[in-house]
Amino acid sequence: MTVARRGLLASLVGLLGGCSPATLLNATVSRQGFTRDADIAYGPDPRQMLDLYRPDKPRADGKTVVFFYGGSWDSGSKNDYLFVAQALASNGYTVVIPDYRLYPSVRFPTFVDDGARAVRWTTDRVGTDKVYVMGHSAGAHIALMLAANTPYLGAAGVDRTKLGGAIGLSGPYDFLPLTSAKLIEIFGGANRPEIEAITFAKAPLPPALLIHGTADTTVYPRNSKNLAAAWRAAGAPVELKLYPDVGHVDVVAAMAGLLSGRAPTRTDVLAWLDAR
């Protein structure tokens, strides 16, 4: 690898750090092969907006992925994740990327409720069995809280058991007790089991793919290991992919073609979706 290429990769990964805007990375992504319908309301709040990516050559099965981005439940924008949408839409998947309300304006479980409403918007258009929820970091927490045996999707009018499946990238699912003052405020306490997906890993559950880097020091790999074990114990299909020497941000950054060599995220996600 050339010095220039290493420098470019370092710049891009630095840009992605902490789930900050990925403008430079998105600039490397082709806009061909799909249409983006931006800023569609799925609720009355200004943050309850989503972007719909419609592939020019959609799959015959109509599979659709709802992707929730990370950002510690207090930051993030759907506009930063064109590279994720392109990776999926270029392979025929319809993609929905919603914004959701954030701390300090809201606390748990409002952002999970928003996720449920965005999924309801999607299922109304394509059918629940064609919908897959996916997320990175805090977004993976939202995705798996919706897929686990919780009431959020039911309250939004969606039959959770009919979801096509769930994909979690570097997600916090078994992270108590909380020690950060900010997170304690976001979740209303330091040790509340109801904030964790692992608490609700009880049958029936949809299929799941959990991906984590072993070098992740932001969200420790045990989160995915423990949730996979709980999913399996509940009799549900689950695949766990652990990437040696891969960090927290690299897992999602590798969805972009330019950085796909950093981790096999893109290949593994597409293969899992194709096999369902």
Q: What is 22-275's CATH topology?
A: Rossmann fold (3.40.50)
Burial class (CB in 10 A: 0-12, 13-18, 19+), 27: exposed
Q: Which residues of the chain have pLDDT under 50?
A: 1-21
pLDDT (tens digit, 9 = 90+) per residue, 39-91? 999 999 999 999 999 999 999 999 999 999 999 999 999 999 999 999 999 99
List alpha helices for 50-109, DSSP H: 82-89
Residue 13: its pLDDT value, please? 47
Return the residue matching tokens 């045990």. 222
Residue 6: its pLDDT value, please? 39
Residue 77: its pLDDT value, please? 96
Q: Rounded to an integer, what distance in angstroms lies between the CA atom of residue 135 and that of residue 93?
A: 16
What are the boundaries of each domain within the chain? 22-275
Q: Rounded to an integer, what distance in angstroms lies between the CA atom of residue 158 and that of residue 124?
A: 9
pLDDT (tens digit, 9 = 90+) per residue, 11-25? 444 444 443 447 778
Pick from 146, 168, 161, 165: which is nearest to 216 by CA?
168
